[in-house]
Structure 1
Amino acid sequence: MRVEVADLTSFREAARGLLVRGVSPDQVLFSEERERQSSLLTVDAPPRSAPVAGLSVPPAFLDLAERVACHRAPERWGSLYRVLWRLTHGERKLLEVVSDEDVYRLHTLAKAVQRDAHKMKAFVRFRKVEREGEEYFIAWHRPDHLIVRHVAPFFARRFPSMRWSILTPDASVSWDLEKLSYGPGVPRSEAPEGDALEEMWSTYYASTFNPARLNVRAMRAEMPQKHWATLPEARLIPELVRGAPERTARMVRPRIEVSDASLYLPEHRDLASLARAAQGCKACPLHERATRTVFGEGPVGARVMLVGEQPGDTEDREGRPFIGPAGQLLDDVLAQVGLNRQELYVTNAVKHFGWMGDEKQRLHAKPGRREVLACKAWLEAEVAQVKPRMIVCLGATAAQSFLGPGFRINLSRGQVFETPWAPAWMATFHPSALLRMPDERARAQARSHFEADLRKVAETVRAAME
């Protein structure tokens, strides 16, 4: 007897009917409904049957069946029915016998589906598009198995405030902020190619890449090349792999090679002399690839000193701090809260731009602890000359340059402390962190906190002047 099924629901209906009629596994051949073939042996699936007393299966089988049904193997339905038959014919504890051939086969199929689901969760990359004036996010992915419905609830929980669609060759799913809806498969050609968020994600990926832990074979196993076409970071991998030996050597280089910038401090330490001397600083390896040292700027006696992490690409080319996209956002918020940037001293904890990639696309690389420590002498010299009433650290790196690696922005953001460096000291977000947030609601909330923190700075300084 041939029975055609399309999904787990139709399988359950067919299997119930077969069990009621006493059809054993060796008497039935399951086939995919979408592959209908005319055959004298083909029969319609048994009609929906009413519940039969005593016919029940362990919950563990239902959970296992849900995953196995997502596999592409045509024999999965037959394997499920064999185990179901045995469970309902005296082998109630069959699933506990993991060495059983039928049970082992089901678990093998289920594990393959789980691995595929894990890869979908890891490798889906949304591209932002505009639809009727609103943000919408679309991703295209090629799973190994039929897992769209299985994995879709995860993305609804993960991105509840985004309108999105995930397209695959087999099926598609969309989230409208309230419910999931499913549709047919979509070819790769109908998916968007890229957006501005890819640059941010690529920057993040490059900055977190650890060359010392590189295992190319494991990388290819965990990130199959068939997914690379839809992963924006994939284009960085060849360069990151090529540069891994050199970066690893720099990471394990003896500490004696990283000197203290105090060796480069001039005898006369006014701001102009410090800025000139800093141009020749080689206290850490960052100077090797940076265009120039980007020193702080602002008046001596500035009441507020803003300290960021390090210069960005624009700052490195122009030689001034905070003049790129993050600087523009900072200027906007300063103006909103009544702080005049021209009256502030603006600098960074690290004076050279650390980057990865090639000259065409220089990607930010977060400075390590040793770069921060090597550059600390310049920062302390600036503080000594400016003598600010308040220091505001933008981001964790800047804050940790003063208080050490144990400081956490999420625990102490916006709080004012008295420190040896200034009567008032505060840490808040780095403006670039706001620019990197893909979720509009989270970005708006973070900006609100950022504005509130800088407004507190303005109020603190005004109170000190009264």
Structure 2
Amino acid sequence: MTEILLAHQVDLATWRRAARHHVFAGTSPEELTWRVQPSALLSQSRPDVQAAFSVSEEEKQEPLRLSRRLVEQLVLAIQAHDPERFTLLYRLVFRVMHEGLDLRTHANDPDVRRLEALAEAVVAETHRFRADFAAYFRHGGRGEWVSHLSNYIVEANASYCLARVAEPWSVQTGYRRMQWDGRALSFGPGSEERLPLLWQRDGEGVWLGYPKTVLPPAEEDIAQATTLDQLGSEAMDCRACALWQPATRTVFGEGPITARVMLVGEQPGDQEDLAGHPFVGPAGQVLDRALQEAGIERPDVYVTNAVKHFRFLWRGTRRLHQKPEQSSVDACRLWLNAERRLIQPVLVVMMGVTAAQSLLKRPVTISRERSRIFPLEGGSHGLVTVHPSYLLRLPNEADKQREYQRFLEDLQQVKRFMEEGRQQPVF
């Protein structure tokens, strides 16, 4: 019997190296035991569960070929609070390599079903963790946030936490403490020696208290969201189109759920993609200036985009904006509809062709439809105008001033409409 010592609960790097060695050596699962070293010896560095599947030059000579689906499930399942997960994962890899096990054609295999249940449990708690983390700091929380987790998901969510909150913070869980001091991320032992084991050994592998969910979120999950925090958390893992791969993150809408005005742009730009907030780049500065001159406070409106990921083209070291494809607009429409459902704005301002076509679901010519308020489905009203970035692209300064004035007049019309409380559209 060979014992393999893992550095921590999500030590995928060590598990992977050992699994690869023993799979090629033909070591049966029954000949291996897996043990995690005591929490007091935890490394302060950040374990990277994704980088653990990088391939060294030596390994390229004899690669371990696994399907993408299996790799994704392994990364999730190793975060589950099941003491037998390391054995299960090795047994699955061993069976794939030596017995021809296929996750697609052997969906009812007990090991495959257990793997999927573990992965689903981790995904479910990840959604809750992200929503609670974002809500805590969005609503003024500071310092240490205590989270009562049932799975080992802290390390895998480090990038998400860093992207959401730039100020110093710490997350305390039973097994792990994660701290960001504004410059470096560190880890340490948690507050408890061990967490209560909530694994339900009923053959299904369902975690008590958590629903079964998968990535990307299903439309029914989006429809059931009751807060913007919950909706935004669901969107963080959206893979409904291909833009999630090159983009840094999902950039969701921001503003109060009580907003009477909803401003919709095309997609996040380079700076928005890096910052994680809509309209913070050059176009956002133009928008802020125009809103201020029109007498509209930005914190009072909800600002979002028709597409939540940044589509770009590399030009040297620069990322140049590219118009999103229609497939991305269609895929993202469910998020835009969900935002409208929760906010129920009186007036939706569509800035640019992409925003207008996403909401109106038909071809739109800005010059023909701008500057008038008209009814939308659901009882709200709409107004089409240009996107602020259009003003930045105009080469002639006189044209810029003229078009900015027209854009300002559109926003002033929005201001008047809201003040007068008009219920009938203006044609």
TM normalised by structure 1 equals 0.43
More helix by share: 1
Q: Rg bigger for which structure?
A: 1
